[in-house]
Amino acid sequence: MDTLTHSSITTYRSLERPKYPFCPGCGHTLTNDHLNAALVQLQLDPRKTVVVTDIGCVGMSDQYFDVQAFHGLHGRAITYATGIKLANPDLTVVVLMGDGGVGIGGAHLLNAARRNIGITVLVFNNLNFGMTGGQHSVTTPHGGRTATTRGGNLERPLDICKTVAAAGASYVYRGTAFDKDLPARIAEAVQTPGFSLLDIWELCTAYYVPNNNFSKGALLQTMQGLGLASGILQRLDTPELARAYREEYAEQRGKPVLPPSFIEKKYASALTATTRVVLAGAAGGKVKSTASALALGGMYAGLWATQRDEYPVTVMTGSSISEVILSRDEIWFMGVAKPDLLAILSPECLSQMTSQLRAMDETQTLYVVPELAQQIQTRAHKIVFNFDRAPIKKSLALTATAAMVRHANLFPLAAFREAISAGQPAEIAHENLKAVDASEFVI
Amino acid sequence: MREFIDGAEAIARGALDAGCNFFAGYPITPATPIMLRMLRELPKVGGIGIQGEDEIASIGMCIGAAMTGAKTLTATSGPGISLYSENIGMAIMGEVPLVIVDVMRLGPATGGATTVSQGDVQFLRWVTSGGFPIIALCPSGLADCYTLTQHAFNLAEKFRAPVFIATDKEMMSAQQSVDTATFEKIQPINRVYASSAEEFVPYKIQHLSDTPAFAPVGGEHLIRFTTSMHDERGIITKKPASVDHKGRHLAAKIEAHRDELEFVKHDPQDGAHTLIVSYGITARSMIQAAHNTRANGKRVSTLIVQSLWPLPEKALRDAMRGITRVIVPELNLGQYRLEIERVAHARDPRPVVIGINRVDGELIEPEEIEAEIGD
């Protein structure tokens, strides 16, 4: 197959399907021929050349080329092209889409230009929807008559070129399907490493031409009348995404992937029954990290553990509630409708604790900060923390939880101490340990 | 040896061990943790991870990459599946290997972003226009997250089809101690590439139930891929014979292989007349309920459905032997119960099918199931 790249290719058009399916006089025929001429000029390996088409009459184009042909959903051609280019940057990827595709897939067009993904987009812009009967599109000129703008289009057309240029496209060109130099411009765009777009104005002889007495001359007049510039409108030399990604992450190659982090049993736990613990406090109160230490401490003591965290989507305000289950056996059900041990650390969480507080009975224990002790009514055994005697009052959650670990005899405090120190810088570990030591005085 | 991890970690490990080398996704609670891991880890294996501008772009990028030969993963939640829908249809039509995680949350629409649900079960079955079979696996534990993810990749390769992993907020974000050393590693199935020596016809098959050989975009052969109805050459067609062939093929390539697609964990008890059938997070309530029931000297059998779609009919039929009462707990208003009823109705004598359903964002308590088990 190597000979392909060495001998001269005279056409990229399909030998099996030499005749396009387009209406007489349709601009799509001209533009596709220009694309073919550009490919012949570039002598690209057809196996390394991908034509991705959108929906609409233009969407039939890929089948008339002997290259890698990919026909996707309406408006989404750019997304497939991006995936192809990201996965294989050695491929030349050309997207053929209409003005309809620009409208429905506008977000993809903008983002492809912004990302500077190395694909070339040819907009077969015939100012209306041909395939579905001549409805208006995002490029229909103001006043243009279409099936859906009988009295003339009230909307203003999108300046595709200005839009993608502003978003950072590497190459932007506007012209018509009648431009003699279009093959050269397409070739230039294809050779541009980054994102390139050609807005190619065409005649839709089935609809826009008869509905608007349109012609080649009118096409140019309309473009000028709308104040739309033509020719090469932008050339930038910014890094192309697929290659930039590879360069950026090259040094990551071969690093360990999601390495396991085993937790060894080092202590023994006297716990007999599965124990469901809830730590309820406020955001910023280290509830979640303390709950993690509780679970981890249990695991150091040979227990099975689970942890579920609840917090508002705005993570730095409101309540923070963590549920930890500790058990000698593997834990299946992770719900905690009725906690065995509930620690209430601040008022933010109270409204969410109603059903759990109601469910608790004398066999269970509520641990509560003194300021909330009176207002909480429960059948559960109530223990009120007394922080007055604690030598330090920082990291309330840690001190309270450590006191609970001691009081309920969940597992040796040494396991909890180890859990709060694991992976922490020495200073933080030291502070945490002081908070744990303070737990001796609070119950 | 135990670790303390969540489902997102287990799924990411499964995907990477299955050879996943492309991920595209869009942030959405509660699926984001999978994306974060994949974007961080893929460069280490020479893969690509990217955040799309939206869900449509994300799955579109996955489809494009998959057709170059990449093993692709994307992850989202119900609202994202809504946006994936049309492209999932294209992946079915174009026969694209692709793994999609749906981390279910309470619906409809934006629903409850951090609220557990199993409300997408029928949505995934009929996820796109046209009405074709779909493969959906459903993990009920971390080991399942790891193993079923690998199976999902293998099935996607084998059948050139999108494969779902249907999971939920709790499975994804609750951390659990787990003995990861016992996780089952599955031999990855790699894509069958068309021979470079022979002429390549993109969708040529011998039998309706065959999966066509694959040639990558950018490889030795010229391919024709299309979202439109096409003949075996990938050429758009309306010819009734070609259209009929393609439609029946898309169904047969899955339906004829249902034996390979049945994943269940059956835990029968001799003499039990009650069978509980459940899946995903709710299966864990079921296991606890069965444990408690048996400890009380009563008998009950259980079946965890790990492959929601196609419905594991044979396993369900077999499990219903001698059963008079089938309990189906699920976090929706009875979507899977409909399927169980269909199987039960074909049995003589016909077992009674009872649903236990919650849509309040809370898990089903084991006690709720125990109360329905009876004597």
Element (H, E) at B249: helix B240-255
CA A215, distance to chain mean position in Å, is 44
> What's the CA gap between B250 and A101, in Å, rounded?
28
Inter-chain touch A299–B4, beta carbons under 8 Å: yes
Strand order in the sheet with A49-53: A231-235, A171-176, A196-201, A119-125, A92-98, A49-53, A68-71, B224-226
How many Å apart are CA B38 and CA B74, to the nearest integer?
9
Q: Please give the average pLDDT of every successive group of 10 residues along chain B, which has 375 residues.
A: 97 98 98 98 98 98 98 98 98 98 96 95 98 97 98 98 98 97 95 88 97 96 97 97 98 97 98 97 98 96 98 98 97 98 95 97 96 84
CB contact under 8 A, A107 and B67: no
Question: How confident is the model at residue A6, as a pLDDT?
Answer: 56
- The DSSP result for A336-384, as a single string, is -SS-SEEEE--GGGGGGSHHHHHH--TTSEEEE-HHHHTT---SSEEEE
pTM over 0.90: yes
Are A183 and A37 a contacting pair, CB within 8 Å?
A: yes
What is the DSSP code (8-state) at residue A318?
A: S
Domain boundaries, chain A: 3-249, 275-441
Whether A318 and A342 have beta carbons less than 8 Å apart is answered as no
pLDDT tens by residue, chain A, 443 residues: 444 555 799 999 999 999 999 999 999 999 999 999 999 999 999 999 999 999 999 999 999 999 999 999 999 999 999 999 999 999 999 999 999 999 999 999 999 999 999 999 999 999 999 999 999 999 999 999 999 999 999 999 999 999 999 999 999 999 999 999 999 999 999 999 999 999 999 999 999 999 999 999 999 999 999 999 999 999 999 999 999 999 999 999 999 999 999 999 999 999 999 999 999 999 999 999 999 999 999 999 999 999 999 888 787 889 999 999 999 999 999 999 999 999 999 999 999 999 999 999 999 999 999 999 999 999 999 999 998 888 887 889 999 999 999 999 999 999 999 999 988 999 999 999 999 999 998 99
Is the Cβ pair A333, B236 closer than 8 Å?
Answer: no
Q: CB–CB of A253 and B46 under 8 A?
A: yes
In sequence order, the β-bridge partners of residue B104 are B168
Q: Do A50 and B69 touch (CB under 8 A)?
A: no
Residue found by looking up tokens 């039998």 in the block: B207
For chain B, say whether A348 makes contact (Cβ under 8 Å): no
Residues of chain A with C-beta less than 8 angstroms from the C-beta of B180: 260, 262
Cα–Cα separations (whole angstroms), residue A63 to A53, A66, A76, A385? 9, 8, 18, 76
A70 touches chain B (CB under 8 A): yes
CA distances from A233 to A157, A166, A196, B304 (A): 18, 11, 11, 62
Substitution target from A4, A50, A55, A84 for chain B, most B beta carbons within 10 A: A84
CA angle A323, A328, A332 (to 5 degrees): 55
Q: Does A296 touch chain B (CB under 8 A)?
A: yes
- Cβ pair B227:A46 closer than 8 A: no
> Which residues contact residue A143 at a Cβ distance below 8 angstroms, ignoring those fewer than 6 apart?
A152, A153
Shortest distance, CA B160 to any CA of chain A (angstroms): 16
Count the Cβ atoms, other than its own, within 10 Å of residue B347.
Answer: 14
Tell me the pairing of strands B274-278 and B301-305: parallel
B288 touches chain A (CB under 8 A): yes
Which residues on chain B are in Cβ contact (under 8 Å) with A51? none
- Strand order, beta sheet including B352-357: B264-267, B301-305, B274-278, B325-330, B352-357
A1, B220: Cβ pair inside 8 Å?
yes
Q: Which CATH superfamily is domain A275-441 in?
A: Pyruvate-ferredoxin oxidoreductase, PFOR, domain III (3.40.920.10)
Q: Per residue in A63-75, is it b (16+ CB within 10 Å) or e — as a string?
A: bbbbbbbbbbbbb
A contacts of B149 (beta carbons < 8 Å): none
Query: β-pairing, A171-176 with A196-201?
Result: parallel
Closest CA–CA distance from residue B13 to any residue of chain A (Å): 7
Q: What residues in B contact A331, CB-CB < 8 Å?
A: 176-177
Tell me, yes or no, if B22 comes closer than 8 A to chain A by beta carbon.
yes
B144 in contact with chain A, both atoms CB, cutoff 8 A: no
Sign of the alpha-carbon dihedral angle for A311, B363, B306, B334: negative
Q: In this complex, which of B170, B218, B287 lies closest to A48 when CB atoms are compared?
A: B218
DSSP A402-434: HHHHHHTT-S-HHHHHHHHHTT--HHHHHHHHH
* Set of chain A residues whose Cβ sits within 8 Å of the Cβ of B90: 72-73
Task: Establish if A321 touches chain B: CB-CB under 8 angstroms.
Answer: no
Q: Which domains does chain B have, with CATH numbers?
A: 2-182 (3.40.50.970), 264-373 (3.40.50.920)
State the burial class of residue B110 (Cβ atoms within 10 Å of its Cβ: 0-12, 13-18, 19+): exposed
> Distance between CA B355 and CA A97 in Å, rounded?
50
In B230-249, the residues whose Cβ lies within 8 Å of chain A are: 234-236
Distance from CA of A41 to the nearest CA of B (A): 20
Chain B nearest-CA distance from A200, in A, is 24
Residues 236-255, chain A: which have Cβ within 8 Å of B? Answer: 245, 249, 252-255
Q: Which residues of B touch A73 (CB under 8 A)?
A: 60, 86-87, 90, 227
The third-level CATH classification (topology) of the domain covering A3-249 is Rossmann fold (3.40.50)
Q: Choose from A5, A50, A68, A265 for mutation: most chain B CBs within 10 A.
A: A68
B292 touches chain A (CB under 8 A): no
Nearest neighbour of A86 by CB, restricted to B45, B61, B175: B61
* Cβ pair A258:B54 closer than 8 A: no
Is A88 at the interface with chain B, CB within 8 A?
yes
Euclidean distance between CA atoms B241 and B344, whole angstroms: 37
B108: preceding bond cis by omega (within 30 degrees): yes
Nearest CA in chain B to A91: B218
